[in-house]
Amino acid sequence: MNLILIAVAVLGLIGFVAALVLFLASHKFAVVEDPRIAQVAAVLPQANCGGCGFPGCAGFAAACVKSADAGSIDGMLCPVGGQPVMEQVAGILGMQAAVAAPRVAVVRCAGTCEVRPHGVTFDGAHSCRIQQMTGMGETLCAYGCLGEGDCERACQFGAIKVNPDTGIAEVDESKCTACGACVKACPRNIIELRPMGPKGRRMAVTCNNKDKGAVAMKACGVSCIGCGKCVKTCDKFEAITLENNLAWIDPEKCKLCRKCEEACPRGAIHAFNFPPRKPKEETPAQPTPAAEIQSKGQTAPAPAAEAQPQKD
Amino acid sequence: MKTFSIGGVHPAENKLSAGSPIRVAGLPKQAVFSMYQHIGAPAKPVVKRGDMVKVGTLLGEAGGFVSAPIYSSVSGKVSKVDVALDASGTRRMAVYVDVDGDEWEDTIDRSPELVKLADRPELDATTIVEKIKTAGIVGLGGATFPCHVKLTPPPGQKADCVIINAVECEPYLTADHRLMLEHPEETLVGVQLIMKAVNVQKGFIGIENNKPDAISLMKEKAAQYPGIEIVPLKVKYPQGGEKQLIDAVVGRQVPAPPAIPINVGAVVQNVGTAFAIYEAVMKNKPLIDRIITVTGKSLQQPSNLLARLGTPFQQLVDECGGLPEDTGKIIGGGPMMGKALISLEVPMTKGSSGLLIMNDKEAKRSEPQPCIRCAKCVSACPMGLEPYLLAAQSARQMWDEAEKNDIVSCIECGSCAFTCPSHRPLLDNVRLGKSTVMGIIRARNAKK
């Protein structure tokens, strides 16, 4: 009996002393961290993708608090969480969230197996970067999608996949967070982050071929040959520029009129998420849907237009 | 018998064309001269559309010190200066010449008489190097490193021997073998010229003992050329690697990069380069043609062709009986280090030592299986690296670790992938890692 009492007393004493030491140590060596960092980190998606440019979500949270102390959190954007998360962050920090247009990854290649003849077969290790080192790859296009799926492996959100039927990467817009991991992974710089556009409607040149017309034409059925027809069509808005035999649509200037899509003799300009065009017999009525789209385009991006000056 | 000390493999030799004498290939209808025929800065075109050129007319001047000029190998009219598909698999700047006749520049001595070093006492080291530089000679073993750079040792470095690479360790290739059999004396004079250029008294010619006829002939001829010794070597791949050859012949180890052979006092040149140097210095002939082995198990007539640079590969294949029906892969170079071509339009360049037509059975790569940790790749690696580890680190983009494990020492010989029982694409990954790590190192040095 006595033995038990002694044991309990001794253990109890050791426990008390240890607790006291721990208590004092936790006070003495406490690291003072801004409590807001933990709060901000809590609302972040915890994807740790690095899409924001900081090392993980904790790094982004610390950066947000730091820039809030400096006066403003403009320019800070979590591409995964987007606007809702940034508003929460702004709420915690007592700031106004900058309105940023959501972006999405666009694969600038439409050279499916059908339109882009595959002359040879690559049987090395399945990696775009390794295939890129061998030169042209399987087709005669030195700029198009290699289809080995480096982007697919880089994406943490399952938003980009190589379609086995077409042999090119396709983006699932509902899952894409515009973190930019695929952009970095692609050895051919095919993927571009472009503004989502009103209702997801946007125009893009889905080709990356910088070869001269004749070579580009031979390589692929839907290649941009740098003819400049789209540039002429868009002379009113000057949204399209031609550089290195390749057209590029400036999303800030594009009014979504779809005229360039019609003008392109190669089908290299793609309109995303537009309703299907009306059948041909209604040709006289065509200005109406176009105008409708344009008016919609003007109503919807109003906040986006506001956002631009803030962004700068 | 001597050989290098670490690693190595024994691929089947398949020297199908060893017995066929060098044939002169016909002139192409159109020759395409890539401006990227060497390592270093590309040549700059100096002709324009419509210019008339002769054999030996300058088409592109050297783009820097580590660069080489490019001469026309045909006479005719420049039809365009534009991009062309080359053996690298990409489209790069090239000069197209429509061939018309065969007119040579007057400065080139086309007589077949042998000119010995004793006949030209006025030649000194500077003149020889200058002539080599002007003639656009690059390493003809396949690496195409501009020759004059190797013959100009960096300040403070001094070579004490010249080693000539005549091992031809790549399976199938026989161009160097035939060259030694048919032009032994010219080659030996070429070696003397290299020795004089770097001011050394000792020259070694390393020949693998699967070429006994070349060894005995060269030994017999070399008796008249003091200082040149023929070294028979045991057959082992990659004995033709610069560092492996130095180890095999003189038993010296070149340390890891950035060390180069001159740091251990050796200058290594290919036997084909020695012959080209003879022609450039003694005959005033720029590098406009070379011997290429066109071979393959299904090819009707495996041959060694003396072909003009710029000739499309299609024509060379036609001269050897046409492309076989069961062709699975066409390789520019040998089977171990060569590069698969995507088209036969590709023109021949200074580095084209061979053209191998593999049939579909040979060409098929087996499906990779998991690594069984047998370490065969480690024992095969002639640089003493751990290929399985480097490949895994490259695949996982662990560049810092790969750098620590000396990935830049890799000579890309392919022994690891050749020996792997699981058919893992080791070299594919290591090559990616090597080029990435080298890029990182360059960026770091640039920052400093």
Q: Is B429 on the interface with A (CB under 8 A)?
A: yes
Q: Is B431 on the interface with A (CB under 8 A)?
A: yes
Domain boundary (B227, B254, B282) is at: B282
pLDDT in tens, A113-170: 888 888 888 888 889 999 998 888 888 888 999 999 999 999 888 999 999 988 899 9
Instruction: Compare all CA atoms of chain B with the CA of A131 and give the residue at the minimum distance.
Output: B428
Percent of chain B residues topping a pLDDT of 70:
100
Instruction: Compare all CA atoms of chain A with the CA of B369 and give the residue at the minimum distance.
Output: A125
Question: Is residue B138 situated within a structural domain?
Answer: yes
Interface probe with A: pick from B34, B91, B430, most Cβ of A within 10 Å: B91
Contact list in B for residue A130 (CB cut-off 8 A) is 425, 428-429, 431-432
pLDDT at A49: 81
* CA–CA gap between residue A31 and residue B426 (Å, rounded): 47
pLDDT at A198: 87
pLDDT at A52: 81
pLDDT in tens, A15-33: 999 999 999 999 999 888 8
- Inter-chain touch A136–B425, beta carbons under 8 Å: no
Where is A170: in which H helix or E strand?
A: strand A169-171
Q: Residue A292 pLDDT more than 60?
A: no
Nearest CB partner across the interface for B431, out of A120, A133, A215? A133
- Inter-chain touch A119–B432, beta carbons under 8 Å: no
pLDDT in tens, B53-91: 999 999 999 998 999 999 999 999 999 999 898 888 888
- Asked whether residue B148 falls in the same domain as residue B257, the answer is yes
pLDDT at A310: 39
* CA–CA gap between residue B139 and residue B150 (Å, rounded): 9
Q: Residue A294 pLDDT more than 50?
A: no
Instruction: Compare all CA atoms of chain A with the CA of B395 and give the residue at the minimum distance.
Output: A127
Contact list in B for residue A136 (CB cut-off 8 A) is 85, 89-90, 342
Q: Six-digit token pair at A105?
A: 């990854």
Contact list in B for residue A211 (CB cut-off 8 A) is 83, 91
Can you name the residues that pair with A105 across neighbouring β-strands?
A193
Between B77 and A304, residue with greater pLDDT: B77
Instruction: Compare all CA atoms of chain B with the CA of A135 and give the residue at the minimum distance.
Output: B89
* Residue A169 Cα to chain centre, angstroms: 14
- Inter-chain touch B432–A142, beta carbons under 8 Å: no
Contact A189, A152 (CB under 8 A): no
Contact B203, B162 (CB under 8 A): yes
Q: Is A124 on the interface with B (CB under 8 A)?
A: yes
DSSP 8-state assignment for residue A139: B
In whole numbers, what is the pLDDT of chain B averaged over residues? Answer: 92
Specify the long-range contacts of residues B255-264, CB closer than 8 Å, at least 24 apart: B256/B406, B256/B408, B256/B409, B257/B408, B257/B409, B262/B150, B262/B153, B262/B154, B262/B157, B262/B159, B263/B157
* CA–CA gap between residue B409 and residue B223 (Å, rounded): 38
Query: Dihedral of CA A80/A85/A90/A92: which sign?
Result: negative
Where is A59: in which H helix or E strand?
A: helix A56-69
Residues 369-428 of B with CB under 8 A from A: 395, 425, 428
Residues 211-250 of A with CB under 8 A from B: 211-212, 215
- Asked whether residue B264 falls in the same domain as residue B147, the answer is yes
pLDDT in tens, B43-56: 999 999 999 999 99
pLDDT at A301: 38
Can you name the residues that pair with B305 across neighbouring β-strands?
B23, B292
- Inter-chain touch B428–A125, beta carbons under 8 Å: yes
CATH of residue B165's domain is 3.40.50.11540
Question: Is residue B143 situated within a structural domain?
Answer: yes
Contact B286, B155 (CB under 8 A): no
pLDDT bin (cut points 50, 70, 90) of residue B447 is confident
Q: Residue A266 pLDDT more than 80?
A: yes
What is residue A121's three-state secondary structure? Answer: coil
Nearest CB partner across the interface for A136, out of B83, B90, B365? B90
In whole numbers, what is the pLDDT of chain A averaged over residues? Answer: 83
How far from each other are the two terminal CA atoms of chain B, in whole angstroms? 47
- Asked whether residue B131 falls in the same domain as residue B260, the answer is yes
Domains and their CATH numbers in chain A: 35-93 (1.10.15), 103-276 (3.30.70.20)
pLDDT at A218: 87
* CA–CA gap between residue A136 and residue A124 (Å, rounded): 14
Contact B291, B304 (CB under 8 A): yes
- Asked whether residue B399 falls in the same domain as residue B269, the answer is no
pLDDT in tens, A199-208: 889 999 999 9
Phi-psi sector, B346: left (phi>0), alpha (psi -120 to 50), beta: beta
Q: Residue A291 pLDDT more than 70?
A: no
pLDDT in tens, A58-111: 899 988 888 888 877 777 888 888 888 888 888 888 887 777 778 899 999 998
- Inter-chain touch A134–B343, beta carbons under 8 Å: no
pLDDT at A5: 94
Question: Is residue B26 situated within a structural domain?
Answer: no
Question: Would strands B327-332 and B30-34 be described as parallel, antiparallel, or unpaired?
Answer: unpaired
Contact B84, B92 (CB under 8 A): yes
Interface probe with A: pick from B34, B88, B342, most Cβ of A within 10 Å: B342
Contact list in A for residue B90 (CB cut-off 8 A) is 135-136, 142
Taking the CB of residue B369, how many other CB atoms lie within 10 A of it? 11
pLDDT at A137: 81
pLDDT at A72: 79
Query: Dihedral of CA B365/B366/B371/B373: which sign?
Result: negative
Q: Is A183 on the interface with B (CB under 8 A)?
A: no
User: What distance in Å separates residue A49's CA from the closest CA in chain B?
Assistant: 16
**What average pLDDT does this structure show over B292-312?**
94
Contact B293, B304 (CB under 8 A): yes
Residues 91-110 of B with CB under 8 A from A: 91
**What average pLDDT does this structure show over B127-151?**
91
Contact list in B for residue A212 (CB cut-off 8 A) is 83
pLDDT in tens, B155-211: 888 899 999 999 999 999 999 999 999 999 999 999 999 999 999 999 999 999 999
DSSP 8-state assignment for residue A157: S
Contact B288, B73 (CB under 8 A): yes
Domain boundary (B236, B258, B282) is at: B282
- Inter-chain touch B429–A119, beta carbons under 8 Å: no
Question: Is residue B418 situated within a structural domain?
Answer: yes
- Inter-chain touch A127–B88, beta carbons under 8 Å: no
Question: Is residue B313 situated within a structural domain?
Answer: no
Q: Residue A280 pLDDT more than 60?
A: no
**What average pLDDT does this structure show over B357-375?**
91
User: What distance in Å separates residue B443's CA from the closest CA in chain A?
Assistant: 18
Domain boundary (B229, B248, B282) is at: B282
Contact B106, B113 (CB under 8 A): no
Question: Which strands sit side by side in the sheet containing B228-233, from one edge to the other?
Answer: B228-233, B203-208, B161-165, B266-270
Contact B170, B181 (CB under 8 A): no
Q: Six-digit token pair at B323?
A: 């492309």
Q: Is B244 on the interface with A (CB under 8 A)?
A: no
User: What distance in Å separates residue B123's CA from the closest CA in chain A?
Assistant: 43
* CA–CA gap between residue B141 and residue B133 (Å, rounded): 17
**What average pLDDT does this structure show over B16-43?**
93
A to B CB pairs, distance under 8 Å:
46
pLDDT at B156: 85
Percent of chain A residues topping a pLDDT of 70:
88
- Inter-chain touch B89–A125, beta carbons under 8 Å: no
Question: Is residue B426 situated within a structural domain?
Answer: yes
Q: Six-digit token pair at B431?
A: 């090559």
How far from each other are the two terminal CA atoms of chain A, in whole angstroms? 80
Question: Is residue B306 situated within a structural domain?
Answer: no
Question: Is residue B55 situated within a structural domain?
Answer: no
Contact list in B for residue A215 (CB cut-off 8 A) is 83, 91
Contact list in A for residue B368 (CB cut-off 8 A) is 125
Q: What is the 3-state secondary structure (H, E, C) of chain B?
A: CECCCCCCECCCCCCCCCCCCEEECCCCCEEEEECCCCCCCCCEECCCCCCEECECCEEEECCCCCCCCEECCCCEEEEEEEEEECCCCCEEEEEEEEECCCCECCCCCCCCCCCCHHHCCCCCHHHHHHHHHHCCCECCCCCCCEHHHHCCCCCCCCCCEEEEECCCCCCCCCHHHHHHHHCHHHHHHHHHHHHHHCCCCCEEEEEECCCHHHHHHHHHHHCCCCCEEEEEECCCECCCCHHHHHHHHHCCCCCCCCCCHHHHCEEEEEHHHHHHHHHHHHCCCCCCEEEEEEECCCCCCCEEEEEECCCEHHHHHHHCCCCCCCEEEEEECCCCCCEECCCCCCECCCCCCEEEEEEHHHHCCCCCCCCCCCCHHHHHCCCCCCHHHHHHHHHCCCHHHHHHCCHHHCCCCCHHHHHCCCCCCHHHHHHHHHHHHHHHHHHHHHHC
- Asked whether residue B397 falls in the same domain as residue B259, the answer is no
- Asked whether residue B268 falls in the same domain as residue B393, the answer is no
Number of domains in chain B: 2
Q: Six-digit token pair at A220?
A: 């692929």
∠ at Cα B48 (B44, B53), nearest 5°?
95
Burial A149-177 (b: 16+ CB within 10 A, else e): bbbbebbebebbebeeebbbbebeeeebb
Provide Rg for chain A, Cα atoms: 27
Q: Residue A288 pLDDT more than 80?
A: no
DSSP A206-260: -----S-HHHHHHH-TT------HHHHHTTTTT-EEEETTEEEE-TTT-----HH
pLDDT at A279: 66
Expressed as residue numbers, the domain containing B396 is 376-447
Nearest CB partner across the interface for A130, out of B90, B342, B428? B428
pLDDT bin (cut points 50, 70, 90) of residue B295 is very high
- Inter-chain touch A134–B365, beta carbons under 8 Å: no
Q: Which residues contact B240 (CB under 8 A, 6 or more apart)?
A: B141, B165, B167, B168, B169, B170
- Asked whether residue B273 falls in the same domain as residue B389, the answer is no
